[in-house]
């Protein structure tokens, strides 16, 4: 698979034709700066910083602003068997108020859930969380970031006391000697960030990449540890074992800045190299090499991403790598540290500002009495009226249709019919809801199942802030008006609150919402009080925490102390590892899912972008030629893959980049090639992260599939949406 190119503005003559305005990319957590210009041929983006560059997703982002299949009016369904039809805003809002009111009166406030997205701006995430808890009075609000980096967040909070994706700015990366990346394919998913890694390499640095596939990043690595999916915790503890045994421990650091080594050492003694090789498949000599490089280096950084995190032992996997960074003393000092790569544009900010079922704005626990009192006072409700912890993302979907469960759902900025695990069950659950409201800018697979769909503005048509992978706040400016009939998400929340009886407290102006966020987070761990639109407009680089107006924000965390009560980082012995499903005679292979460079998340946007669709038009299974040959599946031939939850049919791509007992399927598509029909919803007990990354599977050759009429197609509207 080719690496995604980084595209630079260079001498592009088109750019000179029109003066654009600065904003940020609508996609991933890197939030690359970009400029939007209007040319006679339509909107076009260019890199906001000519030195920086964009990946092909960013470069083509403007195409979606002008697409003619955008939603331009609300759509409603008169009854469950009816097709969606266009409606006025007044009719749609009346139907929403009536339906939600009926559900709440019949089943209670908890019968309605809210599902948000990690691409929503800080202002939208905050207001959606407030809407759920104040207007609907439901505890059940969560977001698709739960499926993204919740395991890393939980592990980092446990060990270091405060979770921020990267606790240092990207500029620090070139200064470190050795980098270990576990389950991250940045060369394909975030190409512009590779400039920092390249510079580190040019300075003599080395990369160790842990991945079951020889990805574009692993190909460039100095050492590739081709791990069996689901065994990261064992690998990390094996490296801790070697650090302890071979004398790579930084004893001064461990004594002064950590606690709990004794228990860790006891557990680590069980992870001797030969045992770790038998669990992970990584040869002993490579394990020793990795430990030696990390141990001997004066500085090192360790990163995880979804490969290690999206597992039912995701928290333990990340804790294993944190233990390694701590035992080596490669954290809490310059050019060292542990970080995780935020996938979605605002995965970080959305959870800090209250879109998780267990958190209030400012990254405070919803069980914390003081935090509850402060937020309730700000929101103008008694503390007793503020709901307590609700269901996490998968539990919320799984709770649909149960006796005490969810009967109505509000979805904003998420396409759960494609992105949630065990998606055939999710689709059935969504169909069984008594009322489903979806807010989106395209008729996504989830919107097709809705009773009401509201058309929302896109990234360049509204103002708002995002918190990027570094914990830095960036301002997305409004560069053009939404099309007639389309409202911003904030305007929609304002209207929904109004029809449900709340005349105040839900402003549609992002600046007004931001001012409330500043007050809501003041003094909290994720303190945004010192960040203002004025400062961002002046071009200040502001990281949270930023407690005062004159404060520069804290670009580097943990240099003096960790944010635990004692100020010391905590070791966590890791005992559990391995996939929930072990291969057997019925399901002899391991399936892992992931991303390709041309697509983003459930593909709602990128599958509508011509160049991206041409680059990757369809899903596929990557499999080792030896496995494919033994099963009679030719390169380019059709393969049927099935797990305990369902089956898909996709074309096979032979590749020596993958282990013979592993299959890889990207998850960006719906229909017969939808990878999440197969994935396991088993949850990590702490983070509630589903086991996206590994399950037992079987594969065989099959003929070219005839797509049966899917529930999605049956729900397609009769008219109005045109290509």
Binds ligand SF4 (CB under 6 A): choice among 36, 54, 417, 487: 54
> Could you give the CA distance from residue 347 to residue 395 in angstroms, rounded to a whole number?
19
Question: Residue 27 or 168: which CB sits closer to ligand SF4?
Answer: 27
Closest CA to 577 of 358, 315, 191: 315
The least distance separating ligand SF4 from the CB of residue 224, rounded to whole angstroms, comes to 23
- 206 phi and psi, to 5 degrees? -130, 155
Q: What angle do CA 612, 616, 621 make, to 5 degrees?
A: 155
Question: Residue 276 or 460: which CB sits closer to ligand SF4?
Answer: 460
Q: Tokens in use for 709?
A: 């009429």
Distant-in-sequence contacts of 636-641, Cβ < 8 A, 24+ apart: 637/701, 638/701, 638/702, 638/703, 638/704, 638/705, 639/699, 639/700, 639/701, 639/702, 640/699, 640/700, 640/701, 640/702, 641/591, 641/665, 641/678, 641/697, 641/698, 641/699
User: What would the x/- binding string for ligand SF4 be over residues 143 to 182, using CB under 6 A?
Assistant: ----------------------------------------
Which window, 28-36, 349-357, 395-403, 605-613, contacts ligand SF4 (CB under 6 A)? Answer: 28-36
Q: Tokens in use for 244?
A: 């302890």
8 A C-beta contact, residue 249 and residue 257 = no
Which window, 21-29, 75-83, 94-102, 403-411, contacts ligand SF4 (CB under 6 A)? Answer: 21-29
Question: Residue 196 or 587: which CB sits closer to ligand SF4?
Answer: 196
> Could you give the CA distance from residue 206 to residue 187 in angstroms, rounded to a whole number?
15
8 A C-beta contact, residue 27 and residue 7 = no
Return the residues of window 104-143 that contact ligand SF4 according to CB under 6 A: none
The answer to the question of residue 28 lying near ligand SF4 (CB under 6 A) is: yes
Cite the DSSP H helix spans in 362-488. Answer: 369-379, 393-398, 416-419, 423-432
> Could you give the CA distance from residue 489 to residue 124 in angstroms, rounded to a whole number?
7
The answer to the question of residue 30 lying near ligand SF4 (CB under 6 A) is: yes
**Helix H or strand E segment including 317:** helix 314-327
8 A C-beta contact, residue 193 and residue 186 = yes
Which window, 24-32, 143-151, 379-387, 539-547, contacts ligand SF4 (CB under 6 A)? Answer: 24-32
Which window, 51-59, 108-116, 575-583, 703-711, contacts ligand SF4 (CB under 6 A)? Answer: 51-59
Residue 522 exposure: Cα atoms within 13 Å on the Cβ side: 14
The least distance separating ligand SF4 from the CB of residue 312, rounded to whole angstroms, comes to 28
Return the residues of window 281-340 that contact ligand SF4 according to CB under 6 A: none
Count of residues touching ligand SF4 (by CB under 6 A): 12
The least distance separating ligand SF4 from the CB of residue 600, rounded to whole angstroms, comes to 7
Question: Residue 306 or 677: which CB sits closer to ligand SF4?
Answer: 306
Return the residues of window 523-542 that contact ligand SF4 according to CB under 6 A: none
> Could you give the CA distance from residue 339 to residue 309 in angstroms, rounded to a whole number?
12
Which window, 22-30, 348-356, 457-465, 618-626, contacts ligand SF4 (CB under 6 A)? Answer: 22-30
The least distance separating ligand SF4 from the CB of residue 55, rounded to whole angstroms, comes to 3
The least distance separating ligand SF4 from the CB of residue 470, rounded to whole angstroms, comes to 12
Question: Residue 32 or 546: which CB sits closer to ligand SF4?
Answer: 32
User: What would the x/- binding string for ligand SF4 be over residues 188 to 227, using CB under 6 A?
Assistant: --x-x-----------------------------------
Instruction: State how beta strands 695-701 and 589-594 pair.
Output: antiparallel
The least distance separating ligand SF4 from the CB of residue 604, rounded to whole angstroms, comes to 14
8 A C-beta contact, residue 338 and residue 302 = yes
The answer to the question of residue 459 lying near ligand SF4 (CB under 6 A) is: no
Binds ligand SF4 (CB under 6 A): choice among 32, 210, 240, 254: 32
Closest residue to ligand SF4 in the complex (CB):
58
Which window, 27-35, 132-140, 422-430, 581-589, contacts ligand SF4 (CB under 6 A)? Answer: 27-35
The least distance separating ligand SF4 from the CB of residue 57, rounded to whole angstroms, comes to 4
The answer to the question of residue 57 lying near ligand SF4 (CB under 6 A) is: yes
The answer to the question of residue 579 lying near ligand SF4 (CB under 6 A) is: no
For 9-54, the DSSP string reads -TT-HHHHHS--EEEE-SSBTT--EEEEEEETTEEEEEESSTTT-E
The answer to the question of residue 465 lying near ligand SF4 (CB under 6 A) is: no
Which DSSP state fits 662? E
Question: Residue 55 or 659: which CB sits closer to ligand SF4?
Answer: 55
Question: Residue 30 or 694: which CB sits closer to ligand SF4?
Answer: 30
Q: Tokens in use for 286?
A: 């490579």
Q: Tokens in use for 305?
A: 């991403």
- Cβ neighbour number for residue 614 with a 10 Å cutoff: 9
Question: Residue 110 or 119: which CB sits closer to ligand SF4?
Answer: 119
For 473-521, the DSSP string reads EEEEPP-SPPPTT-B-HHHHHHHHHHHTT--SS--S-HHHHHHHHHHHH
| Sheet with strand 33-39: strands edge to edge | 21-24, 33-39, 42-47
> Could you give the CA distance from residue 687 to residue 658 in angstroms, rounded to a whole number?
28
Q: Is 652 left (phi over 0), alpha (psi -120 to 50) or beta?
A: beta
Which window, 30-38, 221-229, 426-434, 539-547, contacts ligand SF4 (CB under 6 A)? Answer: 30-38
Closest CA to 467 of 1, 24, 21: 24
Question: Residue 24 or 330: which CB sits closer to ligand SF4?
Answer: 24
Binds ligand SF4 (CB under 6 A): choice among 9, 25, 237, 357: 25
The least distance separating ligand SF4 from the CB of residue 506, rounded to whole angstroms, comes to 29
Which residues are near ligand SF4 by CB under 6 A?
A: 25, 27-28, 30-32, 54-55, 57-58, 190, 192
């Amino acid at each position: 698979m080719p690496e995604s190119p980084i595209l630079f503005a260079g001498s592009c003559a088109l750019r000179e034709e029109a003066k654009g305005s600065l904003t940020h990319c609508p996609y991933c957590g890197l939030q690359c700066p970009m400029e939007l210009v209007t040319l006679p041929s339509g909107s076009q983006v260019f890199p906001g910083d000519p030195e920086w560059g964009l990946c092909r997703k960013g470069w083509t982002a403007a195409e979606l602003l002008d697409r003619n299949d955008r939603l331009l009016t609300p759509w409603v369904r008169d009854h469950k068997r009816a097709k969606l039809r266009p409606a006025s805003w007044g009719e749609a809002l009346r139907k929403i108020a009536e339906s939600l009111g009926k559900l709440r009166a019949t089943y209670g406030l908890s019968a309605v859930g809210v599902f948000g997205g990690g691409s929503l701006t800080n202002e939208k995430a905050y207001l959606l969380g407030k809407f759920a808890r104040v207007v609907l009075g439901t505890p059940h609000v969560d977001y698709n970031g739960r499926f993204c980096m919740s395991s890393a967040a939980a592990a980092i909070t446990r060990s270091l006391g405060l979770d921020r994706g990267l606790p240092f700015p990207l500029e620090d990366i070139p200064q470190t000697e050795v980098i270990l990346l576990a389950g991250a394919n940045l060369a394909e998913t975030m190409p512009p960030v590779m400039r920092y890694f390249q510079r580190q390499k040019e300075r003599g640095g080395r990369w160790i990449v842990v991945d079951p596939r020889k990805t574009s990043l692993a190909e460039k690595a100095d050492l590739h540890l081709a791990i069996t999916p689901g065994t990261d915790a064992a690998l990390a503890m094996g490296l801790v074992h070697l650090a302890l045994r071979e004398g790579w421990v930084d004893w001064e650091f461990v004594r002064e800045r950590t606690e709990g080594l004794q228990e860790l050492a006891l557990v680590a003694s069980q992870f001797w190299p030969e045992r770790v090789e038998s669990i992970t498949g990584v040869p002993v000599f490579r394990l020793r090499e990795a430990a030696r490089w990390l141990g001997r280096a004066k500085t090192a950084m360790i990163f995880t991403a979804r490969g290690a995190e999206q597992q039912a032992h995701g928290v333990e996997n990340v804790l294993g790598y944190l233990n390694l960074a701590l035992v080596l003393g490669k954290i809490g000092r310059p050019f060292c540290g542990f970080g995780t790569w935020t996938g979605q544009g605002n995965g970080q900010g959305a959870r800090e500002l209250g879109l998780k079922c267990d958190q209030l704005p400012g990254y405070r626990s919803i069980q914390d009495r003081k935090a509850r009192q402060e937020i309730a006072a700000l929101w103008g409700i008694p503390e007793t009226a503020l709901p307590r912890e609700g269901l996490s993302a998968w539990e919320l979907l799984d709770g649909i249709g149960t006796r005490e469960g969810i009967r109505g759902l509000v979805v904003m900025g998420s396409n759960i019919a494609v992105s949630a695990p065990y998606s055939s069950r999710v689709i059935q659950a969504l169909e069984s809801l008594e009322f489903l409201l979806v807010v989106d800018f395209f008729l996504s697979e989830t919107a097709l199942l809705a009773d009401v769909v509201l058309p929302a503005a896109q990234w360049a048509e509204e103002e708002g802030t995002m918190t990027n992978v570094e914990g830095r706040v960036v301002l997305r400016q409004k560069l053009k008006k939404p099309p007639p009939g389309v409202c911003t998400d904030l305007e929609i929340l304002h209207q929904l609150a109004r029809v449900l009886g709340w005349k105040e407290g839900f402003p549609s102006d992002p600046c007004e919402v931001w001012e409330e966020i500043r007050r809501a987070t003041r003094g909290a761990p994720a303190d945004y009080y010192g960040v203002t639109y004025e400062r961002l407009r002046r071009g200040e680089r502001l990281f949270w925490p930023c407690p005062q107006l004159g404060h520069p924000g804290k670009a580097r965390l943990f240099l003096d102390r960790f944010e635990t009560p004692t100020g010391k980082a905590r070791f966590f012995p890791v005992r559990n590892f391995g996939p929930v499903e072990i291969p057997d005679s019925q399901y002899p292979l391991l399936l892992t899912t992931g991303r390709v460079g041309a697509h983003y998340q459930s593909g709602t946007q990128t599958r509508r972008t011509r160049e991206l669709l041409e680059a990757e038009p369809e899903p596929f299974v990557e499999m080792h030629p030896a496995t494919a040959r033994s099963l009679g599946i030719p390169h380019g031939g059709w393969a049927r893959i099935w797990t305990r939850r369902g089956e898909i049919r996709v074309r096979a791509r032979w590749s020596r980049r993958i282990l013979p007992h592993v299959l890889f399927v990207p998850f960006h598509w719906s229909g017969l090639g939808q990878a999440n029909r197969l994935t396991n919803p088993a949850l990590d007990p702490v983070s509630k992260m589903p086991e996206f990354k590994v399950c037992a599977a079987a594969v065989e050759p099959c003929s070219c599939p005839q797509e049966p009429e899917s529930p999605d197609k049956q729900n397609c509207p009769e008219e109005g949406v045109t290509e």
